[in-house]
Structure 1
Amino acid sequence: MTEKKQLPEIKSLLLPKEEMLEIRRRGKKITIGIPSDFSKIEYRIPLTPEAVELMVSYGHEVYIETDAGKASSYSDEEYREAGAIVVDKHEEVFQCDVIIRVAPFSSEEVDLLRGHQTLISNMHLSTHCQETVQKLMKKKVTTIAYEYMENENKCLPVVRLMSQISGATSITLASEYLSNSRNGKGVLLGGVTGISPTELVILGARTAAEYAARAALGLGATVKIFDDNMFNLQELESKLGQRVFTSVLYPNVIRKALKSADVVLGAMSFNSNPSFRVSEEMVKSMKPGSVIIDLNISQGGCFETSKATDLKNPTYVKHGVIHYCVHNVASIVARTASIALSNVLTPIIIAIGESGGVQNYIKQSNGIRKGVYIYNGILTNKDLGDKLHIASKDIDLLLAIF
């Protein structure tokens, strides 16, 4: 590889025996690759320079593509100083044992893999195609999705953190697209003395909804929250510490709320049923110039009129309503999101090395096992299998074989 140093073997001879013993105790040495996601209009990076420095201290090698951290305000020099090996060629990163990124892997990138590796990234159920999955299976790789990974409390740590960021950021976006600066109708998101406050309707009552509601209430907006689970509604109201309008997803009640709404936020629970909850007829009834922000677009969206957009072309207008359907809203604040993601991934990567490799760690950790959707070339995620009409296997049964 282009910038790989030739000194590690010499340096190891100069280490005290106690230090060499400590390195051996730290488990299996792995090579970690971080490709650039910029071409995919994804600005987050999975590991910060501080995380890389820690990986290197455990004896691992980290290869990162040139300018991979630029959009998150991390320079190549910062990664070099942390001990990473910065490479110019895209394909070099794809030869590592473990490849970590934020965006899903494309069919062309799968062709670059040597096989029998581990890929960690977002899966994006709605965008996966049969060709890519079959190529991954043929390469005998193990793939782990952020969306399904659990921690010891059976929570989804990556989803929760990104939902917090997306929820708060969505209110900033809503305010921006209501203003004249984005050709909106020139409405202030919030409340001003003598003027009726703007209305925000939120579909969903989990993490993204909570952080969006907090931000909107702080500005003085009227917030109405809908969910199909009464416990979620009660829990959210308790967290907010104040009474807000809440309702089960009754069509007539939603229809009435949409007619007066200035902003509608799709924030249903992640990994729930991805079918839309708002029909095109309901969207037609909304006020001209109102804004829809669909945070569930990576799972198919909450609105019948939703279609995926990206950060370069984030919006379109349909039936007079501005639609914002970017799947990676957290990328707007890429540095904050990158630090949050790195905080989750760093202990996992270290644990993989300490346990003797990915296969051992998957057997030991039930939470990381939940994130595996291809194991040694065998599809293990039923949702993905059903979508692509590919037979899937129970990973717990497979672990008895491998």
Structure 2
Amino acid sequence: MIISVPKEIKNNENRVALTPAGVKELVKRGHEVHVQQTAGEGSGFSDDLYVQAGAIMEPTIEAAYAAGEMIMKVKEPIEPEYGLIKEDQLVFTYFHFASSEPLTNAMINSKSVCLAYETVEKADRSLPLLIPMSEVAGRMSIQEGAKYLEKPLRGRGILLGGVPGVRPAKVLILGGGIVGTNAAKMAAGLGADVTIMDVNLGRLRYLDDIMAANVNTMMSNEYNIREMIQTHDLIVGAVLIPGAKAPKLVTRDMLKDMREGTVLVDVAVDQGGCIETCEPTTHENPTFVIDDVVHYCVANMPGAVPYTSTLALTNATLPYAIELANKGWKKACAGNKELELGLNIIKGEVVYKHVAEAFDLPYTPVDKFLK
């Protein structure tokens, strides 16, 4: 198979979908890998390293897209890329379709095969290609939240961990999954007073067992959220429903109950966000203020630490990419339920229920294409 890796062009997105080590693994299995020039520079991988690994370098993004039977990316295609995607081409990347109707329609019109990292799912319901970036984003949510609590950045002017004789900041984390767990670990390690909320009592029991003494657990419901937001300094939205829009747990009217300089970090923003007032921002302009509350809603948080993120992501995606390249998408997905669940759109038809429901589109069972 011919695999192609274009350079990411989303604002401040420095990750790359395939490392030189990944190229070498594919090439030695008889596949041809094309990489756009400078695609890996943001993550610390030079063109020379790709050439040494056996890649064919392409001078432009147009050439990179034109060359590949399978396109490997990190972030969803953006508007300048829509017209570069060809009929029957396999696109393997994060899509988060439920948060973008224009993207969904563009991929339907392209008649390509869209296999989304974020909906590849194991039998235990874990999301192996989302987990590494959720780990990064969860940890970064505290790193960024601590920064924006500083007064010059319009935060409350409070040090996350406090100092002897001064109480630490209070951190509220909505969601006890991978993002929330990693956020809680970071916040607790910095000495904050942490509360993590979830609707799953079994998960809360688990978190109560493994977390440090300065992490408390609490059942998530509207009453408890309304009570807690009044006294917490940093609030992290960490809720995920695979492939679907995130529920709005913090609503517009709740802002009036927060203290001036409270910081909201919505990690779920790439799935529509769980904080009603959050809109996607970029690393270039990461925050905005509504009712004296600071909103940090960067949709590609791991892109700010591309070396770590690229290695973490490609460690997870490469085995699946090898299987797709070796067998072709039809045979690979028919024989691997995890990959089958990653299929979202096939040749103009939506085959993932949550995406169809998000925009009231016709749904086609994936079996139609795998027989």
What TM-score do the two structures reach when normalised by structure 1?
Answer: 0.87
| Residue in 2 that maps onto 1:344 | 316
The 3 A distance-change label for structure 1 pair 44 and 278 is same
* Alignment pair present for 1:210 and 2:219: no
Runs of 4+ deviating beyond 6 Å: none
Query: Equivalent of 1:73, from 32, 44, 54?
Result: 44
Alignment partner of 2:204 out of 209, 220, 233: 233
> Is this contact kept in 1: 2:85–2:110, CA < 8 A?
yes
Shift of 1:107: 4.4
Maintained 8 Å contact 1:297/1:326: yes
Are residues 1:307 and 2:279 paired?
yes
Match of 2:249 in 1: 277
Distance, in Å, in 2 between the alignment partners of 1:343 and 1:301 is: 27
Give the aligned residue type for 1:311. H
CA offset at residue 41 of structure 1? Answer: 3.1
On the 8 A contact 1:38/1:68 being kept in 2, the answer is: no
Note if 1:53 corresponds to 2:24. yes
CA distance in 1: counterparts of 2:344 and 2:257, whole angstroms = 40
**Secondary structure of the equivalent of 1:353?**
helix
AA aligned opposite 1:55: L
Unpaired runs of 5+ in structure 2?
Answer: none
Corresponding residue number in structure 2 for 1:259: 230
Q: Which residue is equivalent to 2:345?
A: 374
Structure 1 residue 152: deviation in Å?
Answer: 5.8
Query: Aligned with 1:236: secondary structure?
Result: helix
C-alpha distance in 2 between matches for 1:353 and 1:250: 45
What does residue 286 of structure 1 align with? 258
1:237/1:243 contact within 8 Å kept = no
TM-score between the two structures when normalised by the length of structure 2: 0.94
Identity %: 31
Question: Unaligned stretches of 5+ in structure 1?
Answer: 1-29
C-alpha deviation, 1:278, in angstroms: 1.1
Asked if the contact 2:238/2:267 (under 8 Å) is kept, the reply is yes
Q: CA deviation at 1:141?
A: 1.7
CA distance in 2, matches of 1:138, 1:326: 28
Q: What is aligned with 2:170?
A: 199
Q: Is the alpha carbon distance of 1:337 and 1:270 closer, same or farther for their aligned partners in structure 2, counting shifts above 3 Å? A: farther
Distance 2:106 2:162 in 1: 53
Matching residue within 74, 83, 91 for 1:111: 83
Distance 1:385 1:196, change over 3 A: same
The range that moved more, 173-182 or 77-86, is 173-182
Q: How far apart in 1 are the matches of 2:109 and 2:5? A: 22
Is contact 2:8–2:75 with CA below 8 Å preserved after alignment?
yes
Residue correspondences, number: 369
Output the CA distance in 2 between the equivalents of 1:243 and 1:288.
24
Deviation at 1:137, TM superposition (A): 3.3
Encode CA deviations 1:155-210: one digit per residue, 9 max, x unaligned: 20121111111111111111111124534333211132111111000101111111
Q: Which residue of 2 aligns with 1:317?
A: 289
Maintained 8 Å contact 2:188/2:215: no
